[in-house]
Every structure is written in structure tokens, then in C-alpha cells.
Amino acid sequence: MSDLYPLGLRLSGRRVLVVGGGPVAARRARGLVEAGAVVRVVAPEACEELASLAAGAGGPGTGGATVELVLREYRTGDVDGVWLVHTATGDPAVDARVAADAEAARTFCVTAGDATLGTGWVPAVGRVGSGGDEVTVAVSAGRDPRRAVAVRDAVAAELQTGALPLRRVRATGSRAGRVALVGGGPGAPGLITARGRVLLAQADVVVADRLGPRMLLEELADDVLVIDVGKTSGNHPVPQDEINALLVEHALAGRDVVRLKGGDPYVLGRGGEELAACRAHGIEVEVVPGVTSAVSVPAAAGIPVTHRGVARGFSVLTGHEDTGSVPGGPDHTLVLLMGVSRLAEAAATLVTDERPAGTPVAVIEDGYGPRQRVTVGTLGTIAALAEAAGVRPPAIIVVGDVVRLSPHWTATA
């Protein structure tokens, strides 16, 4: 049997004493401040981090909260009236005295130097999620802190990747639902951000695009509602106003909604419209950036959109726009999204005195997907080459001298 009884303490607004002025005491004080405790630190000298906390410059998570810093030796009466004591002086005799005084005052005490002296132990703690949906992982490992940290990190990593469940099971009050606009990247499941994976693992409803990382949908629990609003060229079965209405409807019903989009929500993804629709109904919205296909898919084909001595900038536009008005020559990269159906027209209008017909072009199909393929040519030849190859969406078109840096260009030279 273990003599350790795991317990979480609510310290918000309660007085806590930290004895010691070094880095260990500073870590303890910071954690206590983040938990909302009223912290008093007693030490003859204080390290820089403790001084910053005392000055109100605590940094992220502290909300500008301060600690009371008392620069003197510890006194027995310091433990009076506090709910918890942490001692980390580096002096075994002082730590033992603090622990004995806390015992006499019937106050739990954590001793950093010699854990056997204390009546409490601090586990290795990791937090995943935010707000009311935060999951806290606390690991104690037989007073072996490195072992505890290793186990904590392994569990936290599994939570962050969605391998372990993060969804709420029991409702806690009448909490309103929220919406997260998550950029899923170009489609490969490994290219979504860690924050995006966490939100996806917490979701009650997922409204999914066709070009997002759809393989991740297979990992969701059976009771997660997945609504497919994917669009194909010329086929938009769910109009944008209906997508907006879906997000609002489910969030107002108290559900956490993830709008899983391909690329980045704000790069030709209409994320701004969805944000505005939700905020108009008072719904909390989080926007999670994604790896935009405008940059990542060319990279998959070995094409940097900028390169020293070749291109100093780039423009991103849809193939439906008037490409004839785009300025710049071969040293300014153009990335066209959704442009396969009008490739011949776009290539013809892009030819100018500055951007001749011999300007290199690459068409990358299904970037990072199972049928990724690259077709290269020039503005004068790419339309015929793409038609002969049977190029089909989704595809990214790159125009400019940076295409010459791709191994696909070298192979055809």
C-alpha cells in the first residue's frame, strides 16, 4: 500500500508560504501564483525570477499577479495562518525546522530538499486544453522526479495528438458551446498543428472540408457528429451561408464545434466570414492557423516560393481571378489556387513583356496526398502538357523562375 493520497487543492485566494529564494522556490511560487494563491516568499536573498514575480512581471499564466517578497531569515511564526507551505532553502536544517513548524501548525508542507521531511509532494504536472476543458495530468513516481516527468510527458503527448480522449463526458453546468476554425494544412495528417489536434480531440461536432486532413476523422469517437461540407470544382453542395448557420446552431446548443478546413482558415478559406457569423451571435471563436497549401504544396515538389537571387516575393490568388492584372516578372512567384479548369486562359493572360511565354510553370496535384504528381512546362506549353497528362484538381500552380529549382524541372531539362 502507498502512504500517498493523491489530491488536488483549490488554493485561489488562500495564503501560501514559500521559504527560499532560489530557482526551485521560484518555480514553486510561479505555480502557486498561476493557481491563484496569495503567495508570500521569505528568504534572505531572491533570484531574478522571484524578484520579477514580486514586481508583478510574472509573465504568461500569472495575469500580472505578484508575490509578497520578505527579504529576511525564516521565523517560526511565518507558518501561522497559511494553508500550505513549500520550503526550498537548500539548507537541510532550515527546511527541517520549517517542516516541523508546519507539522505543529497542522499545515501541509512540501520540502524540496528532503521529501521525507514533508507531508506533501508535488507531482510532475502537465496541462492539455484550456479553460473549462483543460485536462491536468499529475504523476508521482515513488519520489523519482525524472521518472514522473517522463511518464507525464508521454501521457501529455498522447493527449495532444488525440490518441487519448479529451472530450467532455459529463456536462458541468450550462456552459455555452464554442467554435474553433482549425487550419488542417494541405491534407497530410501530420501537418496539422498540435493545437488543432487537441481541439479536434475535444470536439462534439466537426464540420469538415474536402481538402482537410480527413484521415483524422477516422480517429474520432463514434458519437462525434461529422458534417461533410466539402466542395469540388463546380459543385458546392452546402453554400457558405448554410455552413455559417451550422456552426452557429451547434454552438448555441452547447456543443464544441471544430470547423476543419484545408490549408489556413484565412488564406482564401472564408474563415473571416465564419468568424463574423459566430461573433454576431455572441459565440466564442478560436482561430488556429494552418500550413497553407500555397506555400507547403510547392515545397512538396521542391519549389521554394522565395529564394535568394531568384525571387524576393510571391503572390497568391485563385485561378478564377483576373490574372492578367498581376504585376511582376519571373522573379516574383505567382501561386494559383483552384486554377486547373482555367489553366489555359490563365497561362495566356499571364504572358507579358516582363513575364514571357518561356517563364517556368509547375502544376502540383494532390500535394502530400497519395497521388501527388508534378507537371512542369512554361506559360506557353503548360496548358497542353497538363491536358495530355490528365491533370485534375486539387492542384497548385506555381509560376516563376523558382520552378527551375525543383528536381522535376531538372529531370525534364
| Active site members | 209, 231
Give the integer Cα–Cα distance in Å for 38 and 82: 10
CA 313 centroid distance within chain: 27
299, with CB counted inside 10 A (0-12, 13-18, 19+), is middle
The candidate with the shortest Cα–Cα distance to 393, out of 232, 230, 278, is 232
Give the integer Cα–Cα distance in Å for 161 and 213: 13
The candidate with the shortest Cα–Cα distance to 29, out of 66, 73, 70, 82, is 66
96, with CB counted inside 10 A (0-12, 13-18, 19+), is middle
Size of the chain in residues:
413
Q: Which residues contact 309 (CB under 8 A, 6 or more apart)?
A: none
Give the integer Cα–Cα distance in Å for 162 and 189: 12
Give the integer Cα–Cα distance in Å for 68 and 38: 8
Main-chain phi, psi angles of 144, to 5 degrees: -115, 90
Q: Where are the beta strands (DSSP E) in 68-123?
A: 68-71, 84-87, 108-111
With H, G, I as helix, E, B as strand and everything else as coil, classify residue 103: helix
